[in-house]
Amino acid sequence: MLGATRSLLPGMIGVWLACIATFAQDAIKTQPGKTLTVGFSQIGAESAWRTAETESMRSEAAKRGVNLKFSDAQQKQENQIKAIRAFIAQKVDAIILAPVVETGWEPVLREARKAGIPVVLVDRGVKVSDESLYATLIASDFVEEGRLAARWLAEKLSGQGNIVELQGTPGSAPALDRKKGFEEVLAEHPGLKIIKSQSGDFTRAKGKEVMEAFLKAEGKNIQAVYAHNDDMALGAIQAIEAAGLAPGKDILLVSIDGVRAAFEAMIAGKLNCTVECNPLLGPPAFDAVEKIVAGQTLPKWIKVTDQVFDQSVAPDVIESRKY
Which of 125, 174, 181, 247 is the binder for ligand AHR (CB under 6 A)? 174
Which of 54, 136, 162, 229 is the binder for ligand AHR (CB under 6 A)? 229
* Closer residue to ligand AHR (CB): 41 or 229: 229
Q: Does 47 bind ligand AHR (CB under 6 A)?
A: yes
* Closer residue to ligand AHR (CB): 39 or 125: 125
Q: How far is the CB of 80 from ligand AHR (least distance, A)?
A: 14
Cα separations in angstroms, 80 against 22, 59, 98, 117, 170: 35, 21, 9, 16, 17
Which of 165, 257, 276, 306 is the binder for ligand AHR (CB under 6 A)? 257
Could you give the CA distance from residue 106 to residue 101 in angstroms, rounded to a whole number? 12
Query: What is the CA angle 56-60-65, rounded to 5?
Result: 150
Site map (CB under 6 A) of ligand AHR, residues 274-313, x = contact: ---x------------------------------------
The answer to whether 101 touches 77, Cβ cutoff 8 Å, is yes
Q: How far is the CB of 217 from ligand AHR (least distance, A)?
A: 25
Could you give the CA distance from residue 227 to residue 78 in angstroms, rounded to a whole number? 27
* Closer residue to ligand AHR (CB): 182 or 202: 202
Which of 61, 66, 80, 124 is the binder for ligand AHR (CB under 6 A)? 124
- Phi-psi group of 244: left, alpha or beta (phi > 0 → left; psi -120 to 50 → alpha; rest → beta): left
Could you give the CA distance from residue 96 to residue 68 in angstroms, rounded to a whole number? 10
For the chain, give percent helix, strand, coil, nearest 5: 50, 20, 30
Instruction: Tell me which stretch binds ligand AHR (CB under 6 A): 25-33, 43-51, 155-163, 239-247.
Output: 43-51
Could you give the CA distance from residue 53 to residue 282 in angstroms, rounded to a whole number? 7
- Residues forming contacts to ligand AHR in the complex (CB under 6 A) are 46-47, 49-50, 123-124, 174, 202, 229, 231, 256-257, 277
